[in-house]
Homo-oligomer: A and B are copies of this chain.
Amino acid sequence: MKTIGPGSTIGMLGGGQLGRMMAMAAAQLGYKTHVYCPEIDNPAEQVSDQATHGKYEDMSALKKFASAVDVVTYEFENIPVSTVEALSEKVAVFPNSKVLQISQDRLSEKTFLNELGIKTAPFSAVSNVDEAASVLEEISYPAVLKTRRFGYDGKGQAIVKSVNDLEQAWQTLSSDQIIIEGFIDFDMEISVIAVRGQDGEVRCFTPVENRHKNHILDISIAPARISDALKEKAIIQATKIINNIDYVGVLTVEFFVSQNDPKLRVNEIAPRVHNSGHWTIEACPSSQFEQHIRAICGLPLGGTSFIGEARMTNLIGEDILKLPELLKDGNLNVHHYGKSEVRAGRKLGHVTKISVK
C-alpha cells in the first residue's frame, strides 16, 4: 500500500474534462492536483493547483514533474507507455503501464480478453488489402476495419459492407496496422465502471446503457434497462478483467448486448474514468472520479449505491448553445468544461437528470 494523505499532490497526465472533474474530486478530499499536458489552454488546469506544459516525450520535464508530485495518474489512454515507465522509476503511477500496453492496441486487448474467456467480436489483424480481402471472406460482410492504435469516438474506423468498399475503406484509415472485426448485431451498448483499490478490493457501479450519435456518446441511462442476471454477468466480467491486470483505479468496460448468445461481448476497455460514468457525480455517494482518487491514494473505496435513475446527455459542439435554456431547469445538473473553442464533435459539457427512486 502506498497511502498518501490529504495535502499531498496528485500528478495528472492530460488536461481534458476528465482531468478537470478528477481534480475537483481530489480537491474535495483535500488533495492538490498538478496537471502535465502539452496544451496551454486546457480544462483541468483551471481547477488545479499547478500545471506543467510539456510533451509526453520530454523526459527532462517529466523528471521534474515526477519530483514535484506524490503519485501520478492519467486521464486518457493514449499516453506513451515509455512515459509511464519513465515516471514509474521516480514515483508511484496508477494504473500501471501494463494496462496501457494492452489497451492501446486493439489486437492485444482482444487477445487478452479472449484468453480470459471473455467474448469479443471475432477479429483478425491484417497489414495489407489482400490479407484483408481473404480475412473478410472468412469473417463475412459486413465487417469493421479499425486502426489497431489511437482510435476514439469512431475515428480510425470504417465499415465495409461488401468487397467493393474495401479498397476505399483501406485508404481512409491510412495505416498498415489494421484489425478487422466481425459486425455484431447488438441491441444495446452498456458499460461497467469498475474500481480496484491498492488492497485488491473491487467495486462496480451498476451497468449503464449508452446511446451514440455520429459515433460519439450521446446519452447514458443508469441503470441500464437489462435483466438483473445480465447486469450481474457484466459486473463479473468487468471484475475478472480488472483483477487480471493488477489494476489500481477506475477502469471502464464497454459491452455489446445481444438477444442471442453470447448475450455479452466486450467492445473495448478504457483504463480510466469514462464519459458513461458522469452520472455517478450526482447519483452516487462517491463518484467515479472520487473512486479513482481514493484508489490511487490508497484510501478505502467509496459507496456505489445510487439514489435514483440517472440520464446523462452530452453537450457536443453547438449543443452548448442550448445552455441558457438548460439552466432554466433548476433540477438539471449542468456541467460546462470551460473550453473556449466551440467545434463540431467536441465534448463541451454534459447535463444529468436524476429521478429519485
Q: How far is the CA of A327 from the CA of B46 in the complex (A)?
A: 27
A32 and B285 contacting across the interface, CB-CB below 8 Å: no
A32 to B334, CA, bound (A): 16
Is A345 on the interface with B (CB-CB < 8 A)? no
How many copies of the polypeptide does the oligomer hold? 2
Residue interface mask A318-347, B partner, CB < 8 A = 1: 000001100110111111111010000000
- Give the CA-CA distance A7 to B5 in the complex, in Å: 32
A356 touches B285 (CB 8 A): no
Most chain B beta-carbon contacts within 10 A, residue among A302, A334, A356: A334
Q: Which A residues between 1 and 53 are near B, CB-CB below 8 angstroms?
A: 5-7, 20, 23-24, 27-32, 45-49
| A277 at the B interface (CB under 8 A) | no
Residues of B within 8 A of A47 (CB): 23-24, 27, 47-49
Does any Cβ of B come within 8 Å of A300's Cβ?
A: yes
Shortest C-beta distance, A324 to chain B (Å), equals: 8
Interface check A142, CB cutoff 8 A: no
Docked-complex contact B299 and A338, CB < 8 angstroms: no
B285 lies within 8 A of A28 (CB): no
> Is the Cβ of A300 less than 8 Å from the Cβ of B327?
yes
**A334 to B357 Cα, complex, angstroms:** 24
Q: 1/0 contact trace for A293-308 toward B, CB 8 Å?
A: 0100001111111011
Mind listing 9 A-B residue pairs with CB under 8 Å?
A6-B336, A7-B338, A7-B340, A28-B334, A30-B336, A285-B331, A285-B354, A307-B308, A307-B354
